[in-house]
Structure 1
Amino acid sequence: MRPPCHAVLPVIACALGALFHATQAAAALKPAQLAIVINDADPDSVAMGEYYRKRRGIPATNVVHVSIPGKPRSIGVAQFRLLKQAIDSKLGPSIQAVLMVWTAPYAVQCNAITAAYTLGYDARQCAHTCAAGQPSAYFNSASKRPYTDHGLRPSMLLPTALPPIAGPPASLAPEQARQGAQALVERGVAAGARSLPASAYYLATSEVARNSRAGFFPPAGHLPAHRLTIRRMTADVLEGAHDVLVYQTGMAQVAKLETLAFVPGALADHLTSHGGDLLGSSQMSSLRWLAAGATASYGTVSEPCNHWQKFPNSAVLLRRYLGGDSAIEAYWKSVAWPAQGLFIGEPLAAPYAVASN
């Protein structure tokens, strides 16, 4: 059953057929517009931050150094406000987005740290996490300069270590985990040269409560201009696919990830309550998408209930990505109520962007 359109949507999701008439590809976020935040108390953050800066040609002046000892999974509101102030004080008006280079912290009480940084900490959401969220002005926006146009900077977390596809996160040797994070960066870089045909997979599963966004799955078909096939399935698992650009499903645990091959720049996420609890064990961590080969993902850090507005809208995400947005832009534009949502991965991946000066 298709969910009704909500007032927050001047929405493409009400006319999914518009996806087949996506606007001409535009330039994506540029490296010079991205700030990198490094935690000097975390050696992995320091090493990965410098690795990413060099690979993406980020100006050294765009690097912000902070100190968050102990790698806590969540930080308090007072500590977060000092952190945000420290970051913002170093950013000029040309900076349009922010990348935090660490695995933890990833939450500010019930808020995701990326959402709290971009939109401000939302205390009302924590009073009742299943309540409706505050709408994002950036949702489904055509803006290419979010800070200039909306006064907000989309943010993403670049993990410094990735777990194995199966098994507990701590079961991988530190050096292997770092290599996995570097491979993630390389997939983002490679996405700019992607030319192979690919598919976008959308699964309506037997976990009915987690199908709340299925009404927004794009219609099946082939998009010749993008060399992309959209495939809708009624199934609990995707197995053996070797051309995955998008994989969206609703499951607490997603099986058979080890059988898949993701193309550079792939986006993948599962609608469930605690995917954004990256180091938790109650449900599948969104980190596992990145470990399996995806380039960016999303998950909520606290119980959101199954409001589709708190998860990536499939039609909006695909249209914006095909229209030339980077991963950070497309993912952020696809979530209407993002307070509890954590955006992770390589932000500048943009398989369909056009070159710009």
Structure 2
Amino acid sequence: MDPLIASAPPSPAAGAAAPGSRRLWLGYAGICALTWGLFVLAGTEFQRGPWKVWEALLQATMTLWAPALMGAAVYPWMRRVSRRSRPAWLLGLMHAGAAVLFAGVWLLLDYALARALFGSEHADALLAQYILWRAIWGLIVYAALATGFGAVFSARRARALAVAAAQAESALARAELSAISGKLNPHFLFNTLNSLIALTRKDARAAEQALLRFAGMLRYVLDSKRSATDRVDLQQELDFVRDYLALEALRLGPRLQVSWALDEAVLQDEVPPLTLQPLVENCIVHGLAPRVQGGTIRISAQRDALNGGLNLCVQDDGEGCDPARLDAERPGRSGIGLGALRRRFALDYDGRARLRVHTQPGAGFRVDLWIPQAT
């Protein structure tokens, strides 16, 4: 066994092993009871009278008690065989030997019971009469038991592999979300530091306020208690965006205009951290900064009257772009954050969150988000 697997803590699937085993043995007992009942019916179908019924009951019990008990021993044997793969020829030899042993033990148990109940002469006569058929049926019954238990172990192994694959996919999704959630564009950091250096020479008090905003932004991004699947209040995200815009205004000045349309009823709604900032950054980098006259960014947050979700919108009045360039896998207007945000929404909220982009050349750029909220 892999030592990593052996030392791993028990998974939820391991806790289900006991109920699964109980179901297995209940099913096995049910199959044994059904076989016994069919055997009784076969023995009494053409023989009427209460004595014949009791005779059929006794014959069915005498015939089937041994293989029913021995079937329980086939289970650990098949578990041992199924633990690792073996060459087909070796597996065939192992099953052939086990089948012969199964048939032989069945004969010995039948002989021992008959001798204990009826004496040695009667037991010898029965053995001579049934030895061939008991041997054949022993091979058949072993094959049925081995096939059934082997199918159980194969199903369990497939289920365990599926659970492991799902856990690995979930871990990968969490890692991707963590990578997406912890980003600030290096160009923004470089430009902000340059703006702060320039500001310290002109207005020390304003530089101090800007540094406090910058420190607050870094604290928001680097919060060690926040994971990718955690949520923040929309108000916190908006405060972060305001600090970001204030720092960008040091560089852009009056070329950057911001319009807010916020419903106070949604300010406590929960959103993933760094949801709006990448969109606002896109507006600045691609929509406003390249234009001499700058432009306006509009940010809105409203309650969805139909389903109670949160509607967010970030748009600019820049040049816009061809929608064909919005493929997240290609560079272009989608650039900073939008492709990552699409990937995040595909992984988060079980894929229920929505992101829609509206743009045309000369018509600006708008991103609409819909984020479900807990009732």
TM-score by length of 2: 0.24
Q: Max radius of gyration: which structure?
A: 2
Q: Which has the higher strand share?
A: 1
| Higher RCO (CA 8 Å, separation ≥ 6 residues) | 1
TM-score by length of 1: 0.25
Q: Which has the higher helix share?
A: 2
